[in-house]
Structure 1
């Protein structure tokens, strides 16, 4: 290195300080041919040119937008504005997809929190009429038999539904429930049901309105609670509209089995 050029170069320690990159990281970048010192003396001393600080800025930029070191190396070979523009467009689309993913996750967490917070209102078998806003729902594609005695495996059918949700693009565990085709029947042990999850938006939904509501725990209290709803409606001359919705407000996130689920049972009334 000529004396007049020496002022243009920084030792590896000085370059590390100015660039904010640790010395051992600079050595690693040298080894993988990402950022090599401009001059290496016979004694092994490394020297970087001041202009290489621009390269550091480039590395920082592309690391921040999610590129791997190998991808940054490939970029370094391009140096054409059109190629770089295409690369940044791809990274921008990836960033947008991640943003959408985390937005959907945030919406799911909000719905789970709203559902779990309802457990604080749990008064077993107390019946009341409550107003509910419209609730977007995604339903299972098949009608299933919810309960057929001791050999039933609720966990299996619900898990099958979750797999259906994932296939439909609902990759998160949204709050779930079931629509019972009750039609005012007194006995629902073998009633047909459709499972559902609460989602941010849907063409299908539980309509807004006043709902005869009670809470119960597990399958046996659920059957008794349903009959109490029917009796309550009959005593007060309430007209039942539609079928029975059952929200799992304490679900598998808290309860180890279905008998420990807290169920919110709702039938629309006028």
Structure 2
């Protein structure tokens, strides 16, 4: 029997149903011929008839099923789950598959929202850095809200540029263990009680801000809301000469220190193109009038 006669015979046997070639079926659904061949291979969706020459033909009655498969795939459901879902239509199991996918998408949206926040934070940081580059070592007074941070002290081997990044990695691991993504707001903390001692870096270490809802722990510190004396500088957080410069400015301008020092990393030296091999940072010291 010729190819044309086979098709005519098939139509007559099925009450002259409308038959579509693989290319026609693919075009209707906006997919490729190779996709339909693959679906047939994994027994997800097969043609109604394959002639002696290997030509695939689909019944028009199969269109709703393929449309459903394409929809489920478009919302991210795996092919192995689609095989189950299309076999059980709208049973409880099919609804469970959809609900599982809904939860996965909700989780992805949450991650994307957090990534969007981080992108916006990085944009703000870059804008701030352009300003701070031109205002190096020019003290000013700024107001900040209360901020919560996780802190880890440096050991003797970490009071180096690579060392402070090792400390930061350990802090970020704490955040990840608590289910939070690391953020861009990180730096160092120097404690007020040791500023006038022989070792002003005692207990000093890395820190990063964390969400308010994160539970407190032994390494949680709070930077209070209020006025801060601020100064941008090219220098590492363990170089206390910049702290002394700002402390002197505070004293000369009729203020007193009322809390711990936050040394914010505005931009790491590996990011900006500069002959200096130190970070662009901003000292922030909480103050009150004398």
TM-score (norm. length: structure 2): 0.80
- Give matches, 1:221-260, under 5 Å: 222-251=239-268, 254=271, 259-260=277-278
Partner of 1:24 in structure 2? 34
| Residue from 77, 95, 110 that aligns with 1:67 | 77
| Residue from 132, 142, 152 that aligns with 1:130 | 142
1:168 corresponds to 2:196: no
Residues in 1 aligned to 2:81 and 2:163: alpha-carbon distance in whole angstroms: 49
Q: Which range is displaced more, 237-246 or 10-19?
A: 10-19
CA contact (8 A) 1:146 1:154 kept: no
Give the aligned CA root-mean-square deviation in angstroms.
2.9
Aligned residues: 268
- Alpha carbons of structure 1 residues 78 and 252: separation in structure 2 relative to 1, 3 Å: farther
TM-score (norm. length: structure 1): 0.86
- State the 1:232 CA deviation: 1.2
Residues in 2 aligned to 1:22 and 1:148: alpha-carbon distance in whole angstroms: 57
Deviations 1:3-35 (A, max 9, x none): 263333222232223232222221221111111
Partner of 2:279 in structure 1? 261
1:106 corresponds to 2:116: yes
Partner of 2:165 in structure 1? 155
CA contact (8 A) 1:177 1:196 kept: yes
- Give matches, 1:116-127, under 5 Å: 116-122=126-132, 123-127=135-139
Partner of 1:96 in structure 2? 106
Residues in 2 aligned to 1:188 and 1:240: alpha-carbon distance in whole angstroms: 18
1:193 corresponds to 2:211: no
Structure 2, unaligned stretches of length 5 or more? 1-9, 215-220
CA contact (8 A) 2:140 2:229 kept: yes
- State the 1:267 CA deviation: 0.9
- Alpha carbons of structure 1 residues 224 and 28: separation in structure 2 relative to 1, 3 Å: same
1:87 corresponds to 2:104: no
- State the 1:198 CA deviation: 3.0
Residues in 2 aligned to 1:150 and 1:45: alpha-carbon distance in whole angstroms: 70
| Residue from 219, 236, 240 that aligns with 2:236 | 219
Q: Which range is displaced more, 234-243 or 8-17?
A: 8-17
Deviations 1:208-243 (A, max 9, x none): 221111111223894221101111122222121111
Residues in 1 aligned to 2:260 and 2:272: alpha-carbon distance in whole angstroms: 26
CA contact (8 A) 2:154 2:164 kept: no
Deviations 1:142-161 (A, max 9, x none): 44457886798323222222
- State the 1:252 CA deviation: 6.5
Structure 1, unaligned stretches of length 5 or more? none
- State the 1:104 CA deviation: 1.2
